[in-house]
């Protein structure tokens, strides 16, 4: 990979300590890849010089793209270089046919905590089409931030004068919650949390393991990319609005029911679903242009017996998300991360502790409808979607990322291979697609 250096100097900013969420992802990247890859599919051949100039522009605009981590500091700190470097690699090939293989390589090719930069770009193009892959260590970015990067990159490519104003480094969102809230919530919620730890509920149904997996097999993330046709996508969205249910709740409900069916579809089963949520709406000074890590996770448990209505279950999900997704609970979650980081200093033991604590067998990341124009000068944006890695927890798991763009709903299923039973994965995907088609009809 080549890292080209510019003659321009970026604005100077002081280093800052990593927040607890950033620290957790950084530590996990010391033992396994926690990358996510943003896939940008484009009609038209990209001019390399213009792309390089646009990439240089976003590196100047967003300080986190020129940051490295000072690991010797306690806690680790983000240091922002004044020298913008563009980590661009150009790969010849068939844009339509070769991108899945290259994206999977990027997904599993770890960006280590001590890397010179915590992201990279790879361009794959032929005469008619191009695919740009933006790969991020999760410690410095989330899905929403990646869409900001893509939008401003393509706008700058089409018109260099369209670049937005230079941003200051994003604050760790720990510092953007109401002062003192973390300790207040820790004092209030810790007794109940410890009671649940000491007297845990029965284990929920787990994603089944692949019986053919061997102890010495290399574990990696793989994905299945499914694009619903425009009529079905429009039908799902229209029905969701008519029922008064968010797309997040609907996707969660359909995923829970698909998982229940894939687990045999008989008797009562407890299934835990986790979700990643954008915390910006709960912060004191939210900025939609900040590029950084602004996500939190929640887990919800459901007892399913097979006769649940998708809409009634979706309303239960919606109520649970509303109850959990508060600034108080976000603050409590950060304090728990602080505690586990203090207790589990070795990356492998940290990963194992997180794996044991999480009972979710399915995970949802709903990116909604990103604000992305389709046309940028001579280029047309066909698709833009993230692929998250999931194998860093070293357990069977299935993740679904959803995004609605250009009138179509895209579903990206990621799973830990070879740990997760392939028959279970196929069944969940088929059952999920079937339920969405029923919703649309």
Q: What tens digit of pLDDT does each residue of 250-278 get? A: 999 999 999 999 999 888 999 999 999 99
Note the pLDDT of residue 386: 97
Between 2 and 301, the more confident residue is 301
Between 184 and 216, the more confident residue is 216
What is the mean predicted confidence (pLDDT) over 285-293? Answer: 83
Q: Are 277 and 251 a contacting pair, CB within 8 Å?
A: no
d(CA 211, CA 73): 43
Note the pLDDT of residue 187: 65
Note the pLDDT of residue 96: 83
Output the average pLDDT for the chain.
Answer: 91
pLDDT at 184 over 90: no
pLDDT at 181 over 70: no
Residues 6+ apart with CB under 8 A from 407: 230, 233, 234
Note the pLDDT of residue 13: 93
pLDDT tens digits, 300-313: 999 999 889 999 99
What is the mean predicted confidence (pLDDT) over 388-406? Answer: 95
Flag whether the pTM goes above 0.85.
Answer: yes
Note the pLDDT of residue 390: 94
Note the pLDDT of residue 5: 54
Q: Are 240 and 436 a contacting pair, CB within 8 Å?
A: no
Phi, psi angle pair for 382, to nearest 5°: -85, -40
Note the pLDDT of residue 123: 96
pLDDT tens digits, 333-385: 888 888 899 999 899 999 998 888 888 889 999 999 998 999 999 999 999 99
Nearest to 141 by CA among 111, 116, 164: 111
Note the pLDDT of residue 265: 84
Find tokens 């017996």 and name the residue: 305
Note the pLDDT of residue 287: 74
pLDDT at 6 over 80: no
pLDDT at 182 over 80: no
What is the mean predicted confidence (pLDDT) over 205-225? Answer: 92
Between 76 and 215, the more confident residue is 76
pLDDT at 194 over 90: no
**Which pLDDT band holds residue 164 (cuts at 50, 70, 90)?**
confident
Find tokens 């004044």 and name the residue: 82
**Which pLDDT band holds residue 286 (cuts at 50, 70, 90)?**
low
| Range ranked top by mean pLDDT from 61-75, 87-101, 173-187 | 61-75
What is the mean predicted confidence (pLDDT) over 85-104? Answer: 91
H or E element: which one contains 404? strand 398-405
- In 16-168, where do the E strands start and end? 16-17, 36-43, 67-70, 77-80, 85-86, 88-92, 119-125, 129-136
Q: 136 forms bridges with which residues in the sheet?
A: 36, 119
Note the pLDDT of residue 376: 95
Note the pLDDT of residue 68: 96
Whole-angstrom CA distances from 360 to 49, 96, 136, 298, 347 are 45, 34, 24, 10, 21
H or E element: which one contains 422? helix 422-440
Please, what are the domains in the chain? 8-165 (3.30.559.10), 203-440 (3.30.559.30)
Note the pLDDT of residue 127: 82
């Amino acid at each position: 990979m080549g890292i080209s250096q510019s003659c321009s100097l970026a604005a100077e900013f002081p280093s800052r300590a990593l927040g607890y969420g950033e620290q957790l992802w950084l530590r996990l990247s010391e033992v396994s890849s926690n990358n996510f890859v943003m896939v940008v599919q484009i009609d038209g051949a990209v001019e390399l010089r213009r792309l390089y100039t646009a990439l240089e522009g976003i590196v100047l605009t967003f300080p986190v793209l020129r940051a490295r981590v000072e690991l010797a500091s306690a806690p680790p700190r983000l240091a922002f270089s004044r020298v913008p470097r563009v980590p661009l690699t150009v790969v010849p090939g068939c844009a339509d046919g070769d991108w899945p293989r290259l994206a999977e390589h990027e997904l599993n090719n770890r960006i280590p905590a001590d890397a010179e930069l915590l992201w990279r770009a790879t361009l794959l193009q032929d005469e008619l089409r191009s695919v740009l892959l933006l790969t991020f260590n999760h410690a410095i970015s989330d899905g929403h931030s990646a869409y900001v990067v893509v939008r401003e990159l393509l706008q700058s490519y089409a018109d260099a004068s369209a670049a937005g104003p230079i941003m200051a480094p994003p604050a760790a969102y720990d510092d953007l919650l109401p002062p003192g809230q973390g300790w207040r919530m820790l004092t209030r919620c810790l007794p109940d949390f410890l009671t649940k730890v000491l007297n845990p509920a029965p284990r929920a149904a787990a994603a089944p393991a692949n019986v053919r997996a061997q102890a010495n097999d290399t574990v990696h993330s793989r994905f299945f990319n499914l694009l619903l046709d425009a009529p079905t996508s429009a039908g799902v969205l229209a029905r969701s609005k008519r029922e008064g249910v968010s797309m997040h709740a609907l996707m969660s409900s359909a995923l829970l029911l698909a998982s229940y069916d894939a687990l045999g579809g008989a008797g009562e089963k407890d299934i835990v679903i986790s979700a990643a949520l954008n915390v910006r709406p709960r912060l004191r000074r939210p900025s939609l242009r900040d590029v950084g890590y602004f996500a939190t996770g929640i887990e919800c448990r459901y007892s399913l017996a097979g006769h649940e209505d998708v809409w009634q279950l979706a309303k239960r999900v919606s109520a649970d998300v509303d109850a959990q997704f508060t600034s108080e609970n976000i603050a409590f979650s950060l304090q728990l991360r602080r505690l586990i980081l203090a207790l589990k200093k070795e990356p492998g033991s940290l990963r194992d502790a997180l794996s044991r604590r999480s009972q979710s067998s399915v995970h949802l990341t709903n990116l909604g409808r990103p604000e992305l124009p389709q046309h940028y000068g001579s280029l047309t944006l066909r698709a833009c979607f993230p692929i998250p890695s999931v194998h860093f927890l070293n357990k069977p798991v299935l993740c679904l990322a959803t995004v609605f763009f250009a009138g179509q709903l895209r579903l990206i299923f990621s799973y830990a291979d070879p740990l997760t039973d392939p028959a279970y994965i196929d069944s969940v995907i088929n059952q999920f697609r079937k339920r969405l088609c029923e919703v649309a009809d």
